[in-house]
Amino acid sequence: MPTSVKDCGKASYPGPDVGVVGGLFWLKGKWPLGTTTQAYICIDNYAGSTVSLEPSSQQLTIRPVRLTVPDGGGVLPVSVTATATGRTEVTLLVVNPSGKQQLSRIVAAVVADQAHWHFEKAG
């Protein structure tokens, strides 16, 4: 489990859009369909902004829905549950306190078959 953005490995690499550190760290493995596991939003900067993970379908549940980025950024835990088969992309969204979107980046995909689900790299 990462404790700082620098512990997030590839999830902490600046993205191509604005060179900002923003990604998702997850544990490798497969989980039974309907089971919840932890993942971690890794975000640098954007203090006071709201960060969320938006799934491309309703077969994926992510809680909490929104988190506030602390001063200096950090690692924010979320719970992820896949409830149906298929592939779902996960987008990291950052919105500033006035409601303006600052970042939108696909950070992962969740793939589920009849029995299990797992994370994959985006793309």
Residue 26 has pLDDT above 70, yes or no: yes
Q: What is the mean pLDDT of residues 79-108?
A: 93
Enumerate the β-bridge partners of residue 109: 89, 120
Neighbouring residues of 47: CB distance < 8 A, sequence distance ≥ 6: 69, 70, 71, 72, 73
Across all residues in the chain, what is the average pLDDT?
89
CATH of 5-116, one of 2.60.40.10, 3.40.50.300, 2.40.30.10, 2.120.10.30: 2.60.40.10
Domain boundaries, the chain: 5-116
| Single pTM value for the model | 0.89
